[in-house]
Chain A
Amino acid sequence: MPLINLPAFSAELLADFESLGTLRVDTPVIQPAEPFLAMAGEDLRRRIFMTESETGESLCLRPEFTIPVCLRHIETATGTPKRYAYLGEVFRQRREGGNEFYQAGIEDLGDTDTAASDARAVGNAMRVVANRLPGRRLSVTLGDQAVFEAVVGACGLPGGWQKRLIHAFGDPKHLQKLLAELADPKAAGVFGPEVERLAIAGMLDDEARLVAHIGETMEATGYSTNASRSPQDIARRLKEKMELANTRLDPETLDLVREFLALDMPLAEAPAALFRFAEKSGLTLDGALSRFDARVAALAAVGADVSVIRYRAAFGRPLDYYTGLVFEVEAEGTPAVLAGGGRFDRLLTLLGAKEHIPAVGFSLWLDRIEAAIAASGGAA
């Protein structure tokens, strides 16, 4: 069915996708809501349009394409690698702009060459945006959660703190709060009076006894030991929490983390700058840095204009299925993100894929691209 409200440049965009060797797919507009809420969290509920089927199943209007395209891939079980393209309407409750708008994009599933497929995603996104806005200079921001994970890992923090910091990556306010807590010896962990009793009873040093005690208490108070967290879970994290409470990051290391997060430079200079940072700080980041360098080289190899790409060390997305690359494409003079993408190697397994499927992709905000075309005075 031809839609008369399609962006004027849709046909050219789809031709671009085809020339990039992708397979066009479509997904139903009405989707089960569960996968979106499970992946993105409860906050999404306020921003999507939900309804219910006659049988009580939660449904929603498609708020984005990545999850439906991945689910479709898992269901059709046609094997990898696959590069899918999509163009269609999505529905979100937005404060600004309409509630229904078009998105298009590419999802690249199953390519095990991380550097090459990362570079292809960034390069393709830049190419299709540039084709819509000829003569406009683009600017691209690139981040990499894997480098941050390597920095945090090399700082010698206990596992619990590493998890907290990595989880907060991409949420600057939360991350700064955690770093402040790590630095301030006054802000010790809060422990209830039961923990003191356990300590006096000598149970905190005897994990087997502690687990047995928790299990017995749960039985006695009517809590099933298998419906939620198990006695082992609680005992293990209690130990982890005591470690967390006793950990202080020395001021030098804290400064290093902050110095790293402040890095912001042209991508071409980033490999050398990261190398200098690692050398100066004495942190071992070899694996993450060589993968970073390989991506920069691959970007040049696919012909992307690396000179318009900036690396910002603190740039990330606080969603737990993003694993490495994230990027955004803007056009100079237009204050909106026109394309956004990243690597989400964990998503397909979370959605139920039997085998690990690496994935990277991007989506285009077609309404914003239309506005950018209009602002530059051109007809598409």
Chain B
Amino acid sequence: MTITIALPSKGRMKDDASAIFERAGMKIVAVGNDRSYRGRVEGWDDVEIAFLSASEISRELGNGSIDFGVTGEDLVREGLANADARVEFCARLGFGHADVVVAVPEIWYDVDTMADLGDVAADFRARHGRRLAIATKYWRLTQNHFSGSHGIQLYRIVESLGATEGAPASGSADIIVDITSTGSTLHANHLKILADGVILRSEACLVRARKPVHDSDPVVGRILSAVRDAV
């Protein structure tokens, strides 16, 4: 059986992922020209490489149409319900670090924890005639953190696909859930992360779609130990 590994198709994620595989003794070469979206691994005839966008990789892992993928943990956990039942996080690769965090305006002197936010959310409609609005593209992670972990139900999600940090100042939302790596964009927008507001410490991972056929395929085990030894 041919094992398909999906790698990010561009940018630093692509270079970092290729570097890890090279260190693992799996040198990736593009099929055809450099811009090709297909590749192979030198000396591994039963492995093929697909270059996809990071969010497509999480979706295809969920479908099981690829066997392995390198993508951010945040995208997998956001994109797939019951992620741990459907995929296995095999190795953390040490790049693509980003935290998914709850951030509120710095001027909210009275809000430093999720419990504070719960109080504010509970009262919000009575005071403002609407629910507390959260700008984010992380619907699932936000719901799990707010409702699942902290018992906060009373908020509305306002979908934001870019420049999320600007939403509170512009008035399109009250707070945000977004990724940050250094916190500098949050700071520049006068936002602060809550003390217990880190939802996920994400980084690029080697992720395997859970498929029964993998149990009897020796190539799967060889890929796993090669990558694990390289990180």
The interface of chain A, by Cβ under 8 A from chain B, is: 37-38, 40-43, 45-46, 160, 163-164, 167-168, 171, 173-174, 181, 189-192, 194-195, 198, 214, 217-218, 221-224, 227-229, 233-234, 237-238, 240-241, 318-320, 350
Contact = CB atoms under 8 A, between A and B. Distances in A.
A229 B129 CA distance: 12
Contact of B119 (A194, A217, A227, A237): A237
A43 B153 contact: yes
Interface in B135-174: 139, 142-143, 146-147, 151, 153-157, 168-171, 174
Contacts of A319: 153
A242 to B, nearest CB: 9
Given A42-B147, A192-B112, A229-B108, A320 B154 contact: yes
Interface string B204-230: 000000000000000000000000000
B107 A190 contact: no
Contact of B151 (A42, A174, A217): A174
B195 A190 contact: yes
Nearest to B146: A42
B110 A237 contact: yes
A243 to B, nearest CB: 11
Interface stretch (B1-9, B57-65, B69-77, B120-128): B120-128
A217 B107 contact: yes
B143 A233 contact: no
Contact of A221 (B107, B110, B130, B147): B107
A167 B122 contact: yes
A201 B102 CA distance: 29
B166 to A, nearest CB: 9
Contact of B109 (A42, A167, A198, A227): A198
B79 interface: no
Contacts of A221: 106-107, 169, 190
Given A218-B107, A228-B174, A42 B157 contact: yes
Given A190-B112, A223-B190, A164 B156 contact: no
A169 B173 CA distance: 28
Contact of A41 (B108, B118, B154): B154
A3 B108 CA distance: 55
B171 A194 contact: no
B151 A168 contact: yes
Contacts of B131: 38, 41
A171 B192 CA distance: 29
B147 A41 contact: yes
B36 interface: no
A45 B116 CA distance: 24
B53 interface: no
Contact of B123 (A163, A218, A222): A163
B79 to A, nearest CB: 14
Given A163-B119, A228-B168, A234 B110 contact: yes
A164 B120 contact: no
B216 to A, nearest CB: 31
Contacts of A40: 153
A304 B125 CA distance: 38
Nearest to B113: A190
A322 B31 CA distance: 63
A43 B139 CA distance: 10
A163 B123 CA distance: 9
Nearest to B105: A223
